[in-house]
Structure 1
Amino acid sequence: MPSSVSVLLYSSNTRTRDQVRLAAGRRPASDVPPVAFIECATLPAVLLALETSRIDACVLDGEAVPIGGMGVCWQIKNEVFRCPPVLLLIGRPQDAWLATWSHADAVITLPVEPVELSTALAALLRTPR
């Protein structure tokens, strides 16, 4: 088991990024290594992090502006070799079909609910790549 895992966290909203980090805590589950977040507020920062860092999972805010997490998810799933699994945060449950279109591996709704986020993130981090 690695000593830590890296999670790319994309949101243009500082409060959303804070909520995700607080909900996940140091480790989202006892059988998952501690999480180190790489925070990004723009698409160029996401692409650079995926190119230069080892990323084990991504959490993308579907409500980010000007480029939402669904579009970012679709782009990285189609352009990044061995793209890490993606947890997509959506604003409304009715948007789940768009999350499917974007190739998200897991979806939860905003506002962030700590147990739901930790459970979904831990499941992605347990998935062998």
Structure 2
Amino acid sequence: MVLTTYQAAALLLFNALEQLSYSEIKTQLNLADEDVVRLLASRFSPRVPLPPVDKRKKVVEDVDKDRRYVIDASLVHIMKSRKVLNHQQQLVSECVEQLSCMFQPDFKVIKKRIEDLISHEYLERDKENPNQFRYLA
């Protein structure tokens, strides 16, 4: 049997007990949540190798970057069709509705993307009503 050190350590825990909870495994091995999940997932599907943590982080960063572009495109599309929206919440909720079939966007990320589009002069806030947005491009 070929095992990683953590896989072997996890199996050795079962020498003393027949059942262990997730938190017991985490505590006994002194691992972070993501490492315990990787460890347990690898035990249930040993023929599927898990990517190294550094590659996994790169994948997550790449996905987040791609999602930012998709959020930007959605926001610009909404504003291009509407020209003016009276509330930031309305813009955010329409964006979430458009993107929900692909992924569940985070409200904070959408608000940050709105601010970025303002700084790049795709959108502007109304000077009299800061909750109102106008499409510029």
Q: Which has the higher strand share?
A: 1
Q: TM-score, normalised by structure 2?
A: 0.24
Q: Which has the higher helix share?
A: 2
**Larger RCO of the pair (alpha carbons < 8 Å, separation 6+):** 1
Structure with higher Rg: it is 2
